[in-house]
Amino acid sequence: MLSNFVKRVIGSSSGAVSRRTTSTFQPGDFCMLRHVRTNKKFFIGPLEHDGRRDLKGGIIGHDQVIDKPVRSVIRTHNDAAAYMVHFPTLDEYVLNVPRSCTPIYPKDASTIVQFLDIEPGQQILEAGTGNGSLTLYLARAVAGGKVHTFDVREAHSRTAQKHVQRYARGCYAPTVDFHLGPVSETLPTIIQQPEFFDGIILDMPDPNKEIPRLLPYLRNDRFLVCYLPNMTQVLDLARMIKPLPLVMEDCIETEWKEWEVRSTQIRSRQDEEDEENRIAWVCRPKNHDVRGHTAFLVRLRKCENVEGDGKK
């Protein structure tokens, strides 16, 4: 029975994604152009007839991409460069779409999904929709469930809805309900059932005021994650939760360092006849000025006492 349930909830969105990745590009899709020689990538879209992208090596017309299958190779108008076409990954999409505010980056979004211990079919509350980047990661994780996302800024909510609708031909849009207004004021008008949510993520300047009001909506022994840019906020949070049925389980800072690993040729007159000696490897960080900090991710577990339990 469990396997049938998992197949049912995952199938609700995975089918649309697989059809997209195995089909041809259509108007409205986004595309990653990968230079066949340098591997440098360029993000274009949404594709439209008569659209174009100016690149250093020439011009790529959108009509050259439309109706082409993935991994097709197309050339610039002057035949100076060739590019292979791919559908963007979710990471590539959220990093390249226009921003109305700073997004939650993939390194943090994937960690938040892990911290919430999300499973298909669950109900997740997100306060602070922002650009909609985390919303997409959550929607993909809860296949068959629902993400209820709130923001106080109408412009942010509109932008996020557009980004969710445009990614992967809108396959995750039915999974997300967008709401406008302060979460603690708006939520009671939508959800009256206690312990309705399997996880809560708060990305807001002052989550301390909202947590006591939202806690009754979280299932016992489940997680609430806060996205906090500075340590002062973390300390304030630690003090605030002392009288609440919450325990801080984790406080982490994530950092991804991208490395360049490639072969190169060493040109030496002495070794001209030795093919093996002319090959060397370059292994180094791509970003030598690493600015890895975005925020601290704090995971809190709800720990209301049950019969026979007197401790958090």
Q: Is residue 147 part of a domain?
A: yes
pLDDT of 126 reads: 99
pLDDT tens digits for 32-42?
Answer: 999 999 999 99
Q: Are residues 124 and 83 in the same domain?
A: no
pLDDT tens digits for 204-255?
Answer: 989 999 999 999 999 999 999 999 999 999 999 999 999 999 999 999 999 8
pLDDT tens digits for 119-158?
Answer: 999 999 999 999 999 999 999 999 999 999 999 999 999 9
Q: Are residues 112 and 59 in the same domain?
A: no
pLDDT of 2 reads: 42
Residues spanned by the domain of 39: 24-88
Number of domains present in the structure of the chain: 2
DSSP, residue by residue, the chain: -HHHHHHHHHHHHHHHHHHHHHSB--TT--EEEEETTT--EEEE-S--TT-EEEETTEEEEHHHHTTPBTT-EEE-TTSS-EEEEEPPPHHHHHHHS--SSPPPPHHHHHHHHHHTT--TT-EEEEE--TTSHHHHHHHHHTTTSEEEEEES-HHHHHHHHHHHHHGGGGTTGGGEEEEES-HHHHGGGT--STT-EEEEEE-SS-GGGTHHHHGGGEEEEEEEEEEESSHHHHHHHHHHTTTTTEEEEEEE------EEEEEEE---STTTT-TGGGEEEEEEES-SS------EEEEEEE----TT----
Q: Could you say which of 88, 114, 133 is where a domain stops?
A: 88
Q: Are residues 245 and 102 in the same domain?
A: yes
pLDDT above 90: percentage of residues in the chain:
75
pLDDT tens digits for 69-94?
Answer: 999 999 999 999 999 999 999 999 99
Q: Is residue 13 part of a domain?
A: no
Q: Are residues 56 and 199 in the same domain?
A: no
CATH number of the domain encompassing residue 45:
3.10.330.20
